[in-house]
């Protein structure tokens, strides 16, 4: 008898650990493809940057229009750096690390420092007892209700879209990444990573100002980078902050279940999938982080039942913005409005 379950239900019924066996075959990177992806992304970014520079004397509207694709290409560079951090882009770890470090100069991200915090994110994503590093701060209804009025105000301020997607990313990439004070007691790696990246940024900035002019360089690079950081934080947000995500306390938490059911499939249009390097296939990425981004499409092609697991579209993703509190009883994220509506009943 044919199953009445949908493909997504069949995928959900399969133990998350079992998926690892199916996904292992996609982990091997193709060095030629990896070099091509870097070359095309860097080449298009440089070309777009030069076009913006040339258009400054013609029309600021043209320059403004070119800022968006330039920012998208910078996001793509960051996601290549991200794959290097997982050891997914090249077979040898030193190659991944040095490519990631060089890219970090342009993305304002100290690679070794970020690699450590991102590994912590993967190791504890969806675990209510291991929050606080590499995540969007999320608290439960009970925790929010126990806060003082001032702490509630601070959490609501943090969750304001302007703070979360504009001010926060600018602060994080332009300032916080320049001096990771919070991790200074965890060895020399964060310090060395940050200071060497800072030196690289200074060298890149000096070269850019010498070639394009101080004012011109800043007019181009600062808006492009600010927009790219906002896009990057938005992508990270949507991949875990959606209504049907999964959070559990440590005793009930499973890394693989949290990966499959606590990470979304952000199903973007093809052009946006290209710019975002398939990072929207985030549930598969969290299950098997060593799959290069250019092989994630192969996974969905070969296992279509995974495509509907945690799927949200571009339009649906905007509804995720108000979701701020984890409802442990109903196991879903809710908004402040829903919380206060329930409290008034």
Q: Where are the domains of the chain?
A: 28-344
Across 15-32, average pLDDT: 87
Residues 214-270: pLDDT tens digits?
999 999 999 999 999 999 999 999 999 998 899 999 999 988 888 888 999 999 999
Exposed e or buried b per residue across 111-138, where buried means at least 16 C-beta atoms within 10 angstroms of its C-beta: bbbbbbebeeebebbbbbebbeebbbeb
Determine whether 2 is exposed, middle or buried from the number of CB atoms within 10 Å of its CB (0-12, 13-18, 19+).
exposed
| DSSP-H helix ranges across 24-59 | 31-55
Separation of alpha carbons 307 and 266, rounded Å: 10
Q: Is 166 left (phi over 0), alpha (psi -120 to 50) or beta?
A: alpha
- The Cα-based distances of 319 to 198, 236, 243, 285, 316 in angstroms read 37, 15, 9, 23, 6
**Mean pLDDT of the 274-285 span:** 96
Nearest Cα residue to 11 out of 310, 332, 314, 335: 310
Q: How many Cα atoms are found within 13 Å in the side-chain-facing hemisphere of 77? A: 29
Higher pLDDT, 43 or 120: 43
Pick the closest to residue 141 from 344, 322, 338, 345 (CA basis): 338
Quick check: 211 pLDDT over 80?
yes
* Lowest-confidence region among 86-100, 178-192, 238-252: 178-192
pLDDT of residue 342: 73
**Residue 3's pLDDT band (cuts 50, 70, 90):** very low
pLDDT tens track for 160-179: 999 999 999 999 999 988 88
Residue 13 reports pLDDT greater than 70: no
Task: Please determine, for residue 1, whether its predicted confidence score (pLDDT) is greater than 50.
Answer: no
Q: Is the pLDDT of residue 39 over 60?
A: yes
pTM given for the model? 0.92
The three-point CA angle 222-107-266 to 5° equals 105
The percentage of the chain sitting over the pLDDT mark of 70, rounded to a whole number, equals 93
198 within 8 A of 178, measured Cβ to Cβ: yes
The rounded mean pLDDT for the chain is 91
Which of 74-88, 109-123, 177-191, 225-239 has the lowest average pLDDT? 177-191
pLDDT above 90 covers a percentage of the chain that reads 76
Joined together, the tokens standing for residue 32 give: 């030629």
């Amino acid at each position: 008898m044919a199953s009445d379950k949908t493909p997504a239900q069949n995928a959900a019924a399969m133990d998350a650990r079992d998926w690892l066996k199916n996904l292992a075959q996609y982990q091997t990177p193709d060095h030629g493809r990896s070099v091509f992806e870097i070359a095309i992304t860097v080449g298009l970014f440089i070309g777009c940057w030069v076009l913006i520079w040339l258009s400054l004397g013609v029309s600021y509207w043209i320059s403004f229009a070119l800022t968006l694709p330039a920012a998208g290409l910078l996001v793509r560079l960051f996601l290549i750096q991200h794959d290097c951090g997982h050891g997914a882009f090249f077979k040898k770890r030193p190659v991944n690390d040095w490519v990631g470090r060089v890219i970090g100069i342009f993305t304002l991200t100290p690679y070794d420092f970020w690699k450590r915090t991102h590994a912590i994110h993967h190791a504890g994503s969806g675990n209510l007892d291991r929050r606080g590093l590499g995540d969007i701060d999320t608290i439960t209804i009970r925790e929010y209700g126990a806060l003082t009025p001032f702490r509630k105000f601070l959490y609501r301020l943090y969750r304001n879209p302007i703070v979360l997607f504009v001010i926060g990313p600018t602060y994080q990439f332009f300032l916080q990444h320049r001096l990771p004070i919070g991790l200074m007691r965890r060895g020399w790696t964060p310090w060395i990573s940050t200071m060497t990246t800072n030196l690289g940024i200074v060298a890149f900035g000096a070269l850019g100002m010498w070639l394009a002019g101080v004012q011109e360089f800043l007019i181009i690079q600062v808006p492009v980078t600010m927009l790219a950081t906002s896009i990057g934080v938005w992508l990270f947000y949507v991949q875990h902050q959606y209504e049907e995500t999964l959070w559990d306390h440590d005793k009930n938490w499973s890394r693989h279940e949290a990966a499959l059911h606590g990470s979304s499939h952000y199903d973007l249009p093809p052009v946006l999938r290209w710019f975002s390097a398939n990072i929207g296939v985030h549930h598969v990425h969290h299950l098997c982080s060593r799959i290069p981004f250019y092989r994630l499409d192969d996974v969905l092609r070969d296992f279509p039942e995974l495509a509907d697991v945690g799927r949200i579209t571009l339009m649906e993703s905007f509804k995720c913005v108000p979701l701020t509190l984890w409802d442990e009883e109903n196991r879903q994220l809710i908004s402040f409005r829903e919380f206060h509506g329930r409290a008034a009943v």
